[in-house]
Structure 1
Amino acid sequence: MLTGAKFSFKMGPVRAAWALLSLAPLFVLGVPPIWTQPEQVHLSYPGEPGSMLVTWTTFNKTESKVEYGLLGGRLFEMTATGDATLFVDSGEEKRKMFIHRVTLTGLKAASTYVYHCGSNDGWSDVFFFTALNDSTRFSPRFALYGDLGNENPQSLARLQKETQLSMYDAILHIGDFAYDMHEDNARIGDEFMRQVESIAAYVPYMTCPGNHEATYNFSNYRNRFSMPGKTESLWYSWNLGSAHIISLSTEVYFYLQFGLELLFKQYEWLRKDLEEANKPENRAVRPWIITMGHRPMYCSDDDQDDCTTFDSYVRRGRNDTKPTAPGLEDLFYRYGVDVELWAHEHTYERLWPVYGDKVFNGSKEQPYVNPKAPVHIITGSAGCREKTDRFNPNPKEWSAFRSTDYGYTRMHVVNSTHLYLEQVSDDQYGKVIDSIWVVKEKHGYSSWF
C-alpha cells in the first residue's frame, strides 16, 4: 500500500506537466509577436544639399536611429537619430505601424556611405547610397515610371539590378503604387514597400500621388513617404544639377470630396514656385524646369480617360466648381516648363512639343531642338495587375511614338542645354526602343518665340 501510494503521488506532477504542455499552443497564440525589426527602408532627398532622409517601418515602437559611415572607412562610425510617427490604417483591423524618419546631414557630395537603420531592438540589412552632388554642373541620371504594382511588377527586377549597379542618382515614381497600398488592411502596402526596398534603400525614391492612392484620403501615401516641404508629400519641388523638379498632385482635380481648397492651394503654390524658379538669377543656374504628375494632359489611349478629351481637367481646369478651377497647361507654358512627365496610362507615349492641342516643333528636321512648346512623356507601363492599355488607332498629330510594351524611362540631364530621354522595353529584355535629345539654347517663356 505504501509503495502504491508513493507511485500515485509521483504521477500527479507528471500528469499536470502534460496538461500544461497540451495547452502551450493556446498560450503562444495569445501573445502577440514583437515586431521591432526595421523593414520597408527607403531614401528621399529632403531638398537641402548634403542631406538624405531615411524612412522605415516597424510594428512596435522602438528608437529611430541610423548608423553610417563612408565606404572604405570605419563601419557605422556616425549616428543620427530621429523619431517615429504612429500610423493607424483605416481598414477594419485598424492595423498600427510606426513610420521612422531620420535625416542625415553634413554629407560629402558624391561620396558613398554605408548604413543601417533601427535600434538595439533590431537592425535593418546594410545598404549604401551616394550623397547627391549639389553642383549645378552635375549631370544626374534618373529612372522614371508610374503604375508599378505588387502583382505583375514587370520592370522591377531590371530596375533593382540597375539601381544597385549605380546607374541612377534618383528614381521618380509618378503615382500609383502597389495596387493598392490600403488593400488587405494595408498589408499590400507593406509588401510593396518591401519589394521596392531593393531600389529605394539605395537612391532617393521621389514620388507623387496617383488615383490608386485615394482611399482613406490618400492616408497610406501621405504616411509612408517623406518628400520635401510640409504638404504631406502631395506637392513639392527640389533641385538637382541644372534642373528644378516639381512634383504635383493631379488628383486634386478629381477627388473634390477631400477639399476643393487643395486644388487652389496647390495652384497658388505652383505659381509661386514657378515664379521663383524663373527669377533670372535662378533660371541661369537651373535652366531646366521639369514637372511630374500622375494623370497626363494629353494621351492617345482608348480608355475614355481625362486625357482623351479636349477639356481635360488637368490641362484646362474645371468650370463646374465655384470658383472655376484653373488648369495647368497655360500656367506651365507661361513659366516655360521644358519637360512634363506623366503616367496613369499603362503605356509609353512620346509627344511632339505641344500646346493648346497643336504641335510646335523646333523645326521639321529637328523637332526637339529649341522646341516651341513643352515636351510631354507618358510612362505608366512598369507593370501592375491591370496589365497594359490599348491605343486609339487614330491618334492626333501630336503623338510621336507609342508602345504597349512593359517598361520604364531613363532621363539624363546632361547640362544646361542638353537633356536625353530613352524608353526601355522589359518585354524586349531591356532593349531601348525610343530615344530623343531635347536641346534648348534658351529657356523660359521667351524660348517659345
Structure 2
Amino acid sequence: MQPVPFSSTKTWNSCDALFSAGFKRVATTKRGFHPRRRESHKNNKAFFTMNYIFLLLAAVLLVGASASSIVATTGAKRVDDISCGECRDIISIVYGIDENKIAFNTTVEVLVDICKAKFANDTVRLDECVLLVDFAGLLVPLLFDGMNDLAWDIPLTFCADVVKVCKEPCCEAGAPPQEIFINFPDSTDLTQMRATWITLNETTGAAVQWWLEGSSNIVHVAKETPRTYTAGGWIGVIHSAKMTNLIPDSTYVYRVGGDVTGWSQNITFKTLPSVIGVPSRPLRVLQLADMGYAQFSNATTAMIAQYVEAGKVDVIIHNGDISYADADEQHWDLFFNKLQSSFSRVAYMTSPGNHELYWNFTAYRARLGMSMPATVPAAGSGAMYYTLQIGPVPFVFLDSESWIDTGNIDPMQLHWFRTYMNSLNRTATPVVTVAQHRPLYCCECGDILSAILREQSEQSIINNHVDLHLSGHQHNYQRLYPLINGTLVSTNYTNPNAPVYVVNGAAGNREGQMSFNKNAPYYGNGSRQYGFSYLVYSVDEAARTATVDFEFIESETGAVGDSFTLVKNY
C-alpha cells in the first residue's frame, strides 16, 4: 500500500516567506480581526483562521526550531522526546493559561525574566530570546482563538498536526468497514460504480461483493486497492473497488470488507436507466455545499436520507467544504459515518472547497479525489477537476481553490475546460452545468477573491455557453438572475442567453448561516434556512427544448423555499 503523498502541484514557495508573512500579519492585525470578514464573514472568526492558520503554524515550527538550542542548554526535554500524553498535558496547561489572561501576561513576564537571567552576558542571544517570547505572546492567543473556532480537540489535534507526536485513528481495532460511499468512477460509463470504505488496518482479501437483488447465488467480486495518508496523525486504510458490467435500471446488493475485518451490512443501490434525462425519465440531482460533521447539519442529513429512501435521487453533488474537518482528521470520519446511509446508496460526486486545503488537500485527495473520475484529457498531476455526463446532461466539476485559501482557476484548468466544451455536441447536450465551490457572483461577496475568479474564468463560462453555475462557500441560498460581466440580462429564465448563477452553501456547519444583500440588481431570491438544491433535468429532443426544474429544499421541514425553471429552446 502506497501512502498518498503531500502533493507538490500547489507548493509553498519558501518557509522564510511564509514566516515573514505570518509574522507581519500577527504584528499588524488586531486579535481576532480580519479586514476581509467585513465584506463576507462579518461574524466569523473561523474565516480569519482559514486564511492564516498555516502561516501561524509555520511560525510556531520556526520559533520552535530557533528556540531548540535555548531549550537544550537548560537541560529541558526536547520536543522530539515528548510523548503524546506529555504533549497533550503541556498544551492543556498552556491553553488554561491562555484562557486566564492575567496568568498569561504573568507567564510572558516570567519568560522574559528567564531570558535575562540566562543570557545576561550575551546581548545577541538575549535579544533573540526576548523576541521569541514577545512573538509567542502575540501568537499564542491568536492560535488558540483559531483552534477554538475550528472546533479542534486542541491538545490532541495540536499535538498531532504541529508537534506530530499524537495519532488520530479512524476507528477502533476490529471495527467493521466504515464510511462507505459509492460514486461513478468514469465520466461517461455509468455501468460502473466504485465503492470506497475505511478500516483501521490493511488487510488481505478485502473486496467488494455485489449481486442483483434476488440473485445472491451469483456473486461478483472485485479486489480493493488500498491507500492511506498520514497528515494530521491520521491512521487508517482507504479501500476502493469497482463494480463493473452493471445492468441499467437494476437494483443491486453489495457489501464491502473481508474475512479478516468482517463485512459490512448488505447495502442496495439502483443503477440508472440507459435512457435518462428525458421527459419520460428525467435526471434528478441533489446538490449541497458547506456541510459540517456536527449538529448543525443534522436536519439536512435527515432530509437527504428521506429523499434517498424515497428513490428520488440519481446523483448527489457536493461541491466543497466537506465535513469541516479543518485538519482535525477524526472530523472526516464522523462526517462520513453520519452520511453513510445516503452516500452508500446514491453516487456521491465532489469537488474541493477551501476547508479541505490543509496539507495541500492531502486528505481530500486520498479520501475523495482519487475515487472521482479521472481528468480527461490528463491535465497534470493532482488535478481535482473532471466531467460527468448522464444521458444528454453534462456536468463540469471545477476546482476553484488554492492552498492559501484564495480562489483560483489556473490557465491549465481553463485550457482543459475550453477543450472539453469544444468537444461537446451542443445539439445533443444543450444544457451544461458547472459545479465549483466558490461563487463568481453573489449578493455579499464583492471582495477581490470573487473578482479574481471572474477575471480568470467568467469569459470562458460565457463564451462556452454554460447554462447553470452551481456554487457554495456563502452559508445561505441565493438565486440570481442571468447576468454577463456584472450586467443584468433578464429577469426570467426562459432562453436567457446568459449563465444562471445559484449559490447554495446552506447545508449547515458550525460557522452559522450568513446574511446577504437583497438590493443587488441581479438578486432573484434567497434564504438563510438550512437546505439543499434539488434539480430535475429533461431534454426533449423532439421539441428541441431542455428544462431544469430547480427547488431549494428547506431541511427542517422539507418545504420548497424557492423554485424556478430554466428553459432553453435549441
TM-score normalised over the length of structure 1: 0.80
Deviation for aligned residue 1:135: 3.0
Give the SS at the match of 1:436: strand
Contact 1:71 1:114 survives alignment (8 Å): yes
1:132 lines up with 2:272 in the alignment:
yes
Deviations 1:288-333 (A, max 9, x none): 11000001011113xxx4x5559612111xxxxxxxxxx1110011
Specify the alignment match of 2:119 in structure 1: none
Specify the alignment match of 2:458 in structure 1: 329
Identity of aligned residues (%): 28
**Please, which runs of 5 or more residues in structure 1 have no aligned partner?**
1-31, 317-326, 443-449
Match of 1:43 among 182, 188, 194: 182
Match of 1:202 among 324, 329, 345: 345
Distance 2:358 2:475 in 1: 21
1:379 lines up with 2:504 in the alignment:
yes
Distance 1:229 1:310, change over 3 A: closer
Q: 1 or 2, which has the higher strand percentage? A: 1
Deviation for aligned residue 1:232: 5.0
Give the SS at the match of 2:401: helix
Distance 1:168 1:181 in 2: 29
1:191 lines up with 2:343 in the alignment:
no
Deviations 1:135-156 (A, max 9, x none): 3545210111100001111311
Specify the alignment match of 1:421 in structure 2: 550
Match of 1:159 among 277, 299, 304: 304
CA RMSD of aligned residues (A): 2.2
Contact 2:357 2:402 survives alignment (8 Å): no
1:343 lines up with 2:472 in the alignment:
yes
Specify the alignment match of 1:61 in structure 2: 202
Deviations 1:25-64 (A, max 9, x none): xxxxxxx963462110001101223110111111100233
Specify the alignment match of 2:162 in structure 1: none
Deviation for aligned residue 1:180: 1.5
**Please, which runs of 5 or more residues in structure 2 have no aligned partner?**
1-170, 376-380, 541-545
Distance 2:559 2:361 in 1: 35
Distance 1:299 1:391 in 2: 8
Distance 2:210 2:340 in 1: 18
Distance 1:118 1:224, change over 3 A: same
Distance 1:409 1:114 in 2: 28
Give the SS at the match of 1:421: strand
1:358 lines up with 2:483 in the alignment:
no
Match of 1:109 among 239, 248, 251: 248
Matched residues, number: 379
Give the SS at the match of 2:496: coil
Specify the alignment match of 1:410 in structure 2: 534
Contact 2:406 2:449 survives alignment (8 Å): no
Give the SS at the match of 1:50: coil
Counterparts of 1:173-192 in structure 2 under 5 Å?
A: 173-180=318-325, 182-183=327-328, 186-192=329-335
Specify the alignment match of 1:240 in structure 2: 390
Match of 2:291 among 148, 168, 181: 148
Give the SS at the match of 1:251: coil
Distance 2:191 2:365 in 1: 25
Distance 2:217 2:459 in 1: 52
Distance 1:392 1:209 in 2: 26
Give the SS at the match of 2:236: strand
Deviations 1:198-242 (A, max 9, x none): 111000100010000001101111110111005657100010122
Contact 2:206 2:259 survives alignment (8 Å): no
Distance 1:204 1:350 in 2: 26
Distance 1:233 1:410, change over 3 A: farther
Distance 1:202 1:223 in 2: 21
Deviation for aligned residue 1:265: 2.1
Distance 2:229 2:437 in 1: 25
Q: 1 or 2, which has the higher helix percentage? A: 2
Specify the alignment match of 1:85 in structure 2: 227
Specify the alignment match of 1:267 in structure 2: 414
Match of 1:433 among 561, 564, 570: 561
Give the SS at the match of 2:410: helix
Specify the alignment match of 2:56 in structure 1: none
Opposite residue 289 of structure 1, the aligned amino acid is: V
Deviation for aligned residue 1:266: 1.4
TM-score normalised over the length of structure 2: 0.63
Opposite residue 287 of structure 1, the aligned amino acid is: P
1:99 lines up with 2:229 in the alignment:
no
Distance 2:415 2:396 in 1: 14
Opposite residue 379 of structure 1, the aligned amino acid is: N
Contact 2:358 2:403 survives alignment (8 Å): no
Distance 1:69 1:233, change over 3 A: farther
